[in-house]
Structure 1
Amino acid sequence: MRSVELFVGAGGLAMGISNAGFRHVGLYEWDRYACDTIRFNKERNVGPVRDWPIYQLDVRSVDFTQYRGIELLAGGPPCQPFSLGGKHRGREDHRNMFPEMIRAVREIQPKVVLIENVKGLLRESFAKYFEYILLQICYPEIVPKENEDWTDHLSRLEQQHTKGRYHGLSYRVVFRLLNAADYGVPQKRERVFIVGFRSDLNIEWSFPNPTHSFDALLYDQWVTGEYWERHRVAKKHRPDIPDKLKKRIESLRMGLRLIQGAPWVTVRDAISGLPDPESEQDCGVPNHRFNPGARVYPGHTGSPLDEPAKTLKAGDHGVPGGENMLVKPDGTVRYFTVRESARLQTFPDEYVFSGSWTESMRQLGNAVPVRLAHFITKDIRTRLEWSVADAGKAV
């Protein structure tokens, strides 16, 4: 099955899609540093990356009709216009590329559309524009008229949607806010995913259920103790049970809470096996170099070792103060190395980031976790395959 992706960045979503069995026929990214990372890994003959057709272009210059009829169109339009840490300009931000994403839907007419973006897109201040995005994906051929205000275009889309009869290109669209930790990613990263199946396929689909849970982690740590045994942490070195979790843990111990799925994956799980970058600065592991200067700020205190990490952040001009840090057992903090951050985003160790620490961390902070992307697109691919099989039986 073929796929096209826009706004590829460092390739997290693209790698997850490749791992799910899709074959990329076009990958578009304008940022040269992100493209350098992908090209560097292509040269190193890394996994599926070796065959990626990466184009360093502004998507506004691309004629997407060349990809008409592919199975999957994916992308994560720049999140800064809607990010909680951004300037919150939304549709008025020059980086708002949702119009180009929707143009690609209209010109390609893929079987499935997959879009990822930040949690901030769901804020009340963007609610009306978010509805506008969804309805444009539902009816990509109902385009704005010349000089038509977007709110007037929204009204026309709403009228069509409530009418219920439409014979043009349309999609059945759903969205959900997902926490990457619930799918085995060692990071509490909440992102909005929008999925649309082309209406003529008559496919029913819903987001796959979570595979991991916080309760399972608490049970593993504080009821059975298997977590500490697995990491060979002696009892005298184990932290105390947090007071705010004691009642919850007691309920787990007594079987009063239902445990679902595997334990959340923690920072300790993710970086296990990597040498300490402070004491072994020439360890030979790519991207695993210590970067000094980490400091705690009010509200920004780093990620505990025995939980999934806090959300990795990019920032417009490098890593924001107090972010992307590890809290060590003695309470001090240090920055995550690029390799540790790549593990938190579930990139394979063979995937190397080119450029400075600041630039590599920016790419990682903007990336989609590979494991989460794989999990969602694998489910999409399975549903498409079922659809083809059902169509064959009907014939």
Structure 2
Amino acid sequence: MGDQPEETKIPHDRTSVELFAGGGGLAMGVHRAGFRPLLFNEFNNRACETLIASGGRVLGDSGLVLTRDTAPVPPGPGEPAPLYPGDVRELDLRKFEDKVDVLAGGPPCQPFSAGGVAKGDEDKRNMFPAVFNAVREMRPKAVICENVRGLLRPSFADYFEYIKNELRLPFMERDPRRTWQEHNRSLMEALGEPDPTSHGLDVDGGLAAGDRDPDRYRVIAFPVNAADYGVPQVRNRVVIVAFRADLGVDVVRDFAHEVRAHPFSQGALYRSMRDGSYWDRHHDVPPHVRERVMARLPRDVKDDGRRPWLTFRDAIKGSRADGERLRPLPEVDLARLGEKYDFGEGLFPGHIGWPGARVYKGHTPNELDRPAKTVKAGVHGVPGGESVMELDERVQDPSAPGGWRYLHRYMTVRETARVMTFPDQWVGCGPRGEQMRQLGNAVPVILGEFFARAVSHALDAAGQ
């Protein structure tokens, strides 16, 4: 991987703990933003293998070490971070108290996902309570949680408010004999009236602007589309961020404004196609593909001053939002898909062809000149065709529109990792389906980095 870019070198010893680490997307983003990892936790064995295999190449210069100790000790600078491969609820994190700048994690999303059974708080996989317990034991300066947009469904609205209220007052621990609704009423009474300085943002939840209670957190929640932050994928999620109240972070001025001023847009992509700068970057695109894309563009696009969304083609060819240039991925020979041949030849792990992709009504492929569809935790069976891609190559077909049919195939694991902005040094472990599950459940690295960097800036502004 070589030396880190200058902007990602750690300016001082900021630290992080990663729960529900999965394949490492959020952990990599937090590390790239300048945080030294103190602890990783992940329950899935294959994901733990992935974290170990990727190790120091992408998760910290000192790597990580497997531990079965349920009361791990924070490592010092230059020491490997412990990885606990088990249930987070078994961990005793009190030795990390006041040593953690950021607690990060994406609690399992199945309870709130449209693809799951959507039981919400009744689902035993709901791990938000484990996050609240970790906050109580570690007292981190900040918390970053990512979850699916389904958390914003009207049917979950009351429970979503409860999640934020409990994060605001994590030390008002719930009596197990009480329902969450009863506990939420107590939290709301303690919080009092909403802060009038929040300017309509989903922030603060009743904490007065001067409240410096170290047992309280100032909370803000953002619905985000990862494409707006430089990820070559339309991925709608919710990010919840909290700052400990005694630190004096101005959540609106020093954090919310930076995040809401997202640097990329769809309109800017359209403008780059109209002015030709996008095609200058992809000069080898066949004329018939370019003509088809241009015919679909809206006539009028306003200049919003943002940078263009990145596309699936950008990801494959190696363009990244952070300015780093990756090597273009080798072409995949359609005639060899049945061999499950390694087209990366060991240089691009997981760039292996896979046969059997189909396209039909309701199961349409990714287009190269748009951001990819949301990567989901499945290999073949995901709805909507999210793991299938349309190619530049076409064949004559009288039954197809215009008399031509575009060819398609399954995305390789490496192409999927590129769409998730994982570095090429990331090594997924387990069979193909398991690697795709890890990627589908992950946070895109660049999205995680953006939020972690914004948290770091807010802490800097508060002198923390």
- Identify whether the pair has TM-score above 0.5, normalized to the shorter chain: yes
Instruction: Give 1:262 shift.
Output: 1.0
Query: Closer, same or farther in 2 for the Cα pair 1:261/1:388, shift >3 Å?
Result: same
Instruction: Give 1:326 shift.
Output: 0.7
Q: Which residue of 2 aligns with 1:337?
A: 412
- Establish whether residue 269 from structure 1 lines up as the match of residue 295 from structure 2: no
Instruction: Give 1:168 shift.
Output: 6.0
Q: What's the CA shift string for 1:23-58, capped at 9, x where partnerless?
A: 11111001000000111122x755626244321021
What SS does structure 1 have at the residue aligned with 2:237? strand
Stretch of structure 1 that moved more, 376-385 or 322-331: 322-331
User: How many Å separate the matches in 1 of 2:380 and 2:128?
Assistant: 24
- Establish whether residue 214 from structure 1 lines up as the match of residue 214 from structure 2: no
User: How many Å separate the matches in 1 of 2:331 and 2:295?
Assistant: 30
Which of the numbers 184, 194, 210 marks the counterpart of 1:154? 184
8 Å CA contact 2:88–2:130 kept in 1: the answer is: yes
User: How many Å separate the matches in 1 of 2:289 and 2:186?
Assistant: 63
Which of the numbers 86, 101, 112 marks the counterpart of 2:116? 86
Q: Which residue of 1 aligns with 2:239?
A: 193
Which of the numbers 91, 106, 109 marks the counterpart of 1:62? 91
Which of the numbers 374, 382, 393 marks the counterpart of 1:320? 382
* Structure 2 gap segments, 5+ residues each: 1-13, 64-79, 194-205, 318-327, 395-405
Q: Which residue of 2 aligns with 1:127?
A: 157
8 Å CA contact 1:302–1:327 kept in 2: the answer is: yes
User: How many Å separate the matches in 2 of 1:36 and 1:74?
Assistant: 20
- Establish whether residue 287 from structure 1 lines up as the match of residue 317 from structure 2: no
Instruction: Give 1:228 shift.
Output: 1.6
Instruction: Give 1:225 shift.
Output: 1.7
8 Å CA contact 1:267–1:305 kept in 2: the answer is: yes
What SS does structure 2 have at the residue aligned with 1:378? helix
Between the two proteins, what is the percent identity of the paired residues? 44
8 Å CA contact 1:319–1:358 kept in 2: the answer is: no
8 Å CA contact 1:313–1:323 kept in 2: the answer is: yes
Which of the numbers 445, 448, 457 marks the counterpart of 1:370? 445
8 Å CA contact 1:338–1:357 kept in 2: the answer is: yes
User: How many Å separate the matches in 2 of 1:328 and 1:237?
Assistant: 9
- Establish whether residue 226 from structure 1 lines up as the match of residue 271 from structure 2: no
- Establish whether residue 388 from structure 1 lines up as the match of residue 463 from structure 2: yes
Instruction: Give 1:244 shift.
Output: 6.1
Instruction: Give 1:319 shift.
Output: 4.6
Give the TM-score, by structure 1 length.
0.91
8 Å CA contact 2:231–2:446 kept in 1: the answer is: yes
Instruction: Give 1:346 shift.
Output: 0.4
Instruction: Give 1:309 shift.
Output: 0.1
Q: Which residue of 1 aligns with 2:229?
A: 183
User: How many Å separate the matches in 2 of 1:106 and 1:345?
Assistant: 32
User: How many Å separate the matches in 2 of 1:47 and 1:291?
Assistant: 29
User: How many Å separate the matches in 1 of 2:249 and 2:342?
Assistant: 53
2:42 maps to a residue whose letter is E
- Establish whether residue 358 from structure 1 lines up as the match of residue 433 from structure 2: yes
8 Å CA contact 1:313–1:319 kept in 2: the answer is: no
Q: Which residue of 2 aligns with 1:392?
A: none
User: How many Å separate the matches in 2 of 1:74 and 1:237?
Assistant: 42
8 Å CA contact 1:267–1:304 kept in 2: the answer is: yes
1:179 maps to a residue whose letter is N
8 Å CA contact 1:228–1:234 kept in 2: the answer is: no
1:294 maps to a residue whose letter is A
Q: Which residue of 1 aligns with 2:72?
A: none
Which of the numbers 35, 51, 54 marks the counterpart of 2:48? 35
User: How many Å separate the matches in 2 of 1:218 and 1:336?
Assistant: 25
Q: What's the CA shift string for 1:323-371, capped at 9, x where partnerless?
A: 3111123323211100000000001111111211111000000010001
Structure 1 runs (4+) greater than 6 angstroms displaced: none
2:83 maps to a residue whose letter is I
Which of the numbers 161, 172, 180 marks the counterpart of 2:218? 172
User: How many Å separate the matches in 2 of 1:74 and 1:229?
Assistant: 39
- Establish whether residue 251 from structure 1 lines up as the match of residue 288 from structure 2: no
Query: Closer, same or farther in 2 for the Cα pair 1:305/1:41, shift >3 Å?
Result: same
Which of the numbers 107, 113, 138 marks the counterpart of 2:137? 107
Q: What CA RMSD, in Å, does the superposition of the two structures yield over aligned residues?
A: 2.0
1:278 maps to a residue whose letter is D
User: How many Å separate the matches in 1 of 2:276 and 2:137?
Assistant: 55
Q: Which residue of 2 aligns with 1:278?
A: 333
Give the TM-score, by structure 2 length.
0.78
What SS does structure 1 have at the residue aligned with 2:112? coil
User: How many Å separate the matches in 2 of 1:146 and 1:320?
Assistant: 37
Q: Which residue of 2 aligns with 1:3?
A: 16
Instruction: Give 1:260 shift.
Output: 2.5
User: How many Å separate the matches in 1 of 2:281 and 2:58?
Assistant: 31
Instruction: Give 1:298 shift.
Output: 3.3
8 Å CA contact 1:318–1:362 kept in 2: the answer is: no
Size of the aligned set, in residue pairs, is: 379
User: How many Å separate the matches in 2 of 1:287 and 1:349?
Assistant: 10
